[in-house]
Structure 1
Amino acid sequence: MIRAVVVDDDKDTVALFAEIMQSNNIEVVGRGYNGQEAAFLYQKLKPDVIFLDVIMPVYDGIYGITKIREMNPDAVVIITTNQMTINAQIALNKLRPSAVIKEPIDVNEIIKTVNQLCAPSLDSENQMKKTMVTLALKNTLLELGIQEYDKIVSLLQKDYTCTLEDCYENPEYLRNILKDLFGDSYPDILNSLSENMKDILSQQSVKDFLQVLST
């Protein structure tokens, strides 16, 4: 799920915006009310996207995006505003916001924009998880011996036309083969796999993967 921070000096606007985001499967992990809080929340929470108003008292949106760009030049920052001075427009052009959306906000437009901007980073994150799971899986199966490992890989290809890496999306294929081959020893293999995955066990996708293997 995409993680977002919403920043606007109007608390009602923040609450409404957060409600809209969450109803569209975008998790709002932080709320702020000026540019200084925007920078703090970005540094603390590392969201996938931050929504930032421009006109705010004391620390405005220009301050916020400036500090965020110093931390991460590629941060996804979407500016939301119903008015903008020429000076603010010039400053924003230099700071390269990911998108500028004029208020009143078109919900469909902003959801489409968020998905377009954040999808690549989510794909990259998912690929990293897949690689880590596959590595742990390979190490676990090699502990059974190279002959057993080759047999499992061969059966995956023969019975399901898939590779070991494909088991991340289809753990039931691996479960069926391991249960058929090892019977009563299957729980021991799961325990070994869990141990090899201990560094990533807190991630929900990994928990789901192991849950399917355990059924």
Structure 2
Amino acid sequence: MFDEFYRTIYNQLFFKWILCHDKQYQQDHIQYHVETENEKLKVICLSTTKVKGKITIWYNNIVEEEILRIKDEKLVFYLHFTITDLAQCYHLFHKFYQTIIQYTQQKEWKIALCCTGGLSTSVFIEEMQQVCELENLHFQLVSLSLDQLYQNYQNYDALYLAPQIAHMEPEILAYTQHQIPVYCIDATLFATKNYRGIIQTIQKNIQA
């Protein structure tokens, strides 16, 4: 009998529990507010400079958690579940909350792919960006010509040279005074358009 009673108010208890953590949200620089509160549903929004999170708690104990990336409105997290007990709610809220923290704190690497006129590498950028989107990698990829490289190299975290200009690596390193890493793209990866292989190389270099 008591179990049945508590089940009827799980959604209200979970809602109140989320609101009780306002000090933690402030500490983590997360803005939150109640967007909707009525008999049918309750909606709480939590946001940072990079993502917008929303929890919808329905009257019938269905919960939806979603996170949108602000820069492109892409949905990066979605979970729905039926409340069976409050411990389950707390656990799944923690997963939702940690994802907000991770997306907010994760650095977005600005990577430039360079060739003589910027045309060859521009073909790669679109395909590589799609791979990054699928794998949730925080890379901002840009194609640069040699002239643009010399003018704007300081705006990037790393430079990757196409095989056609790999022989210029010493000159470019001297010009940039080793202020940022300069790498040569593997000729086979470039020639076979192995976008994933190039991205894996970038990942390894960042982790090195």
Same fold by TM-score greater than 0.5: no
* Structure 1 or 2: more strand by fraction: 2
Normalising by structure 1, we get a TM-score of 0.30
